[in-house]
Amino acid sequence: MGYGLSLNGAQYWNLTGFTIDTASKGIVLDASPHVTITNVEVRNIGDEGVHFCKGSSAGVIKNSYVHDTGQNQPGYGEGVYIGSAKSNWAC
C-alpha cells in the first residue's frame, strides 16, 4: 500500500468530492500551501489520514470524513496531522 494521494509543491489546489480507501497514508501535502480539501472521505488507512507537512501552510479541510486510521500500529494514525515529528526536522 502506498499513499492514496500525494501533492508535492502544488499550490492553490482544490481537492473535492472523492474517497480514499485502504492506503498506507491517505492524503499527504508536502510543500503545498493553500490547498483546500472539501467533501472528501478518507478511510481504512494504515497511518495518518490527512497530513499537512512542511511548507503546506494556509491549508483547509472542511466537510470531510476521516475515519479508521492507524490500522498499522495501535496508538498511531492521526486523522489530520499538521506539521512533522521532531525526529524529522533535520530532513
* Sign, Cα dihedral of 73, 75, 78, 81: negative
pLDDT at 75 over 90: no
88: pLDDT confidence band, cut at 50, 70 and 90?
low
CA of 80: how far to CAs of 6, 48, 90, in Å? 14, 7, 22
Amino acid, res. 14: N
Whole-number Å distance between alpha carbons of 55 and 77: 21
pLDDT value, residue 84: 78
Whole-number Å distance between alpha carbons of 11 and 17: 19
Contact of 58 with 33, CB cutoff 8 Å: yes
Q: What is the pLDDT of residues 27-61, one digit of tens each?
A: 999 999 999 999 999 999 999 999 999 899 999 99
